[in-house]
Structure 1
Amino acid sequence: MNSAGRLDVAVVGAGRVGPVLGAALRTAGHRVTGITARTRQAAERVEALLPDVPWIEPEDAFTADLVLLAVPDDVLGPLVTGLAPNVRPGQLVVHTCGLHGLGVLEPAARHGALTLALHPAMTFTGTSLDLQRLVGAAVAVTTPPVLAPVADALVREWGATPVAVADADRAVYHAALAHGSNHLVTLVAQALDAARAAVGQDAERVLRPLLQAALDNALREGDAALTGPVARGDAGTVATHLRVLGDLDPATAATYARLARVGADRAQAAGRLTPTAAAAVRTELTAGEP
């Protein structure tokens, strides 16, 4: 360990997350002693964010005080199992996956590792822009109570804000983030394609303020933020939308129909749509399904 509580840190994983978090820790005064990088793109990312940090093999990471495992969810378990014999008792082993809690690190814990699960709730680009976006971002923290102060300090050194997530809740936490962010991208991309058919290159300019307002309203008000033909029970408008979208792209029409059905269900449950109006909307949705 360096002076004043500074740590030697090794990063396993040179995708979009590892080099950024390593750079954030280095900015906080820790020393990054090595990082695994196996592709040219990864090497370029490392050089941009962590210049002069040497490439290492994964097993060599365990000479550091803190080993940061920044690898995909499905890779993490086998990786930990394979690397666990290299653990030194008292060593911090941290993973950044959203899906997993502490269970996936149990092989390392059996060899004496102090384990933490820290998942930043943000999308990474793998560039220095992420360092700015980390500031104030939420980080899901799953840790034994005795290590909570350590987790809190690491997250705050990233510039982020810790949010406790119980081990048993990690999967639903991760599913919520993936459902909201990944599916939002698909939805917006489909909306852009349809809008371009009507307004050409002005599609982004037309959609941006509407989508930003809808997101802000939904986060603040939930189902009460729903507007448009489904919330009003305008079944005829829904039918027209399905027809024109089906002509453009059946997949977009199918997405519209599925989400409109869920929207009608939630609007009715919230008392915003009468059963009669909701039934009329569902009838048009069924008739217009691709």
Structure 2
Amino acid sequence: MSAPLRTHSAARGRPATATSSQVAFPSVLTVGIIGAGRVGATLGAALAAAGHRVVAASGASGASQARLALLLPTVSRRSVVEVARAATDLLLITVPDDALAGVVADLTADGALRPGQVVAHTSGAHGLAVLAPVGTAGARPLALHPAMTFAGTPDDLGRLPGVSYGVTAPAELRPLAARLVVDLGGVPEWIVEADRPLYHAALAHGANHLVTLVNEAADWLRDAGVGQPEKVLAPLLRAALENALRLGDEALTGPVSRGDAGTVRRHLARLAATAPDSVEPYLVLARRTAERAVASGRLRPADATALLGVLDGYGSQVAA
């Protein structure tokens, strides 16, 4: 017989026992992983380290096979359907966002799912709707997204403590979801279904676009003759990130936040000659920075007039 579920209250940090409206699960879950990408292999290894039984995993590519051998060396490699049937308690699907619906549909059509089984995905963009077909088999849906970037190496396991997880779950599965996040060393953030795209857009904008922004800056430094731009950028960017997370818009510095229209004009002229593809993104970010600087009181509207005129002038040239 399954033991009563014990977990931690996300709000108060104390143990909570499943109520009659919630579902009891064994303390040790039998888990299967579909998609041995960077996320799947890492979370599988973390669940195994937490004491759960990861019994099967799928991954067809050479990279997936190598990742499984590194992170889950004792776990059986099986087909997708076989993994689903072996995962009596928790089936973790960690495939790309656009492939998720197809995998769920195929598993349902193949009769690979069972009543009471929890089917979870790790997509940030999707919530529970993409898992709706699993309900026809009596399985239970769960969205569990780690807000972290993964390399697919053992180093990832050391980065998991303290990571936030965007969780969307039916009420009866919230204790299990909280328990899984705690087992992974993380913190649950409860996201309602309608807000999943906004949640994911925030993470993509903050992390993915940051990589593009940093690499653009590095390219410009190379164009300016700097041999090792990462050495120039590292202390500056670390300080800027820490200040932004701690101070919000109060961390804004630089020519836009001061309304230095002449400096920004010189930036744009040089970029137009050296990196013309970068002019438009610079304009967009400079205007948004100016708007936030004005709204936060860092830049007086009167001091922003000349700056915005420069941005509008170059914007018209780009549009033409």
TM-score, with normalisation over the residues of structure 2?
Answer: 0.86
Deviation per residue, 1:145-181 (Å, 9 max, x gap): 2111111111111111111111121110000000111
Deviation (angstroms), 1:104: 1.0
The percent of aligned pairs where both chains have the same amino acid is: 50
Higher helix share: 1
Is contact 1:2–1:8 with CA below 8 Å preserved after alignment? no
Q: Which residue of 1 aligns with 2:173?
A: 147
Indicate the SS of the match to 2:166.
Answer: strand
Q: Aligned residue for 2:10?
A: none
Is it true that 1:94 corresponds to 2:120 in the alignment?
A: yes
List runs of 5+ in structure 1 lacking aligned partners.
none
Task: Please give the alpha-carbon distance, in whole angstroms, between the structure 2 residues aligned to 1:9 and 1:95.
Answer: 13
Unaligned runs of 5+ in 2: 4-25
Give the counterpart of 1:122 among 114, 137, 148: 148
Moved over 3 A (4+): 1-4
1:16 corresponds in structure 2 to 38
Matching of residues 1-290 of structure 1 within 5 Å = 5-63=27-85, 64=87, 65-84=89-108, 85-289=111-315, 290=318
**216-225 or 104-113: bigger deviation:** 216-225
Aligned residue for 1:256, secondary structure, equals helix
Distance in 2 separating the partners of 1:199 and 1:120: 39
Letter in 2 for 1:110: T
For 2:255, the aligned partner's letter is P
Choose 31-40 or 271-280, whichever is displaced more.
271-280
User: CA-to-partner distance for each residue in 1:94-142, whole Å, 9 max, x for gaps?
Assistant: 1100011111111102311122110000001111111111111111111
> Are the counterparts in 2 of residues 243 and 288 from structure 1 also a CA contact under 8 Å?
no
In 2, Cα distance between the equivalents of 1:229 and 1:5?
Answer: 57
How big is each residue's C-alpha offset from its partner over 1:187-224, in whole Å with a ceiling of 9 and x where there is no partner?
00000111123352332111111111111111222222
The whole-number CA distance in structure 2 between the counterparts of 1:216 and 1:140 is: 22
3-state SS in 1 of match to 2:56: strand
Paired amino acid for 1:78: G
Structure 1 CA distance for aligned equivalents of residues 295 and 153 of structure 2: 44
The TM-score, its normalising length taken from structure 1, stands at 0.95
Tell me how far 1:2 sits from its aligned partner.
Answer: 9.8
**Residue identity matched to 1:77:** A
1:254 Cα offset (Å): 2.1
- What is the aligned partner in structure 1 of residue 19 from structure 2? none
Structure 1 residues 199-208 or 174-183, which shifts more? 199-208
3-state SS of paired residue (1:67) = strand
Task: Kindly provide the amino acid, as one letter, of the partner of residue 277 in structure 1.
Answer: D
| Contact 1:102–1:117 (8 Å) recurs in 2 | yes
Across the aligned residues of Structure 1 and Structure 2, the Cα RMSD in angstroms comes to 1.7
CA offsets per residue over residues 16-39 of structure 1, 9 Å max, x none? 111111101111111211111111
Provide the rounded CA distance (Å) in 2 between the counterparts of 1:8 and 1:248: 57
Q: Secondary structure at the match of 1:222?
A: helix
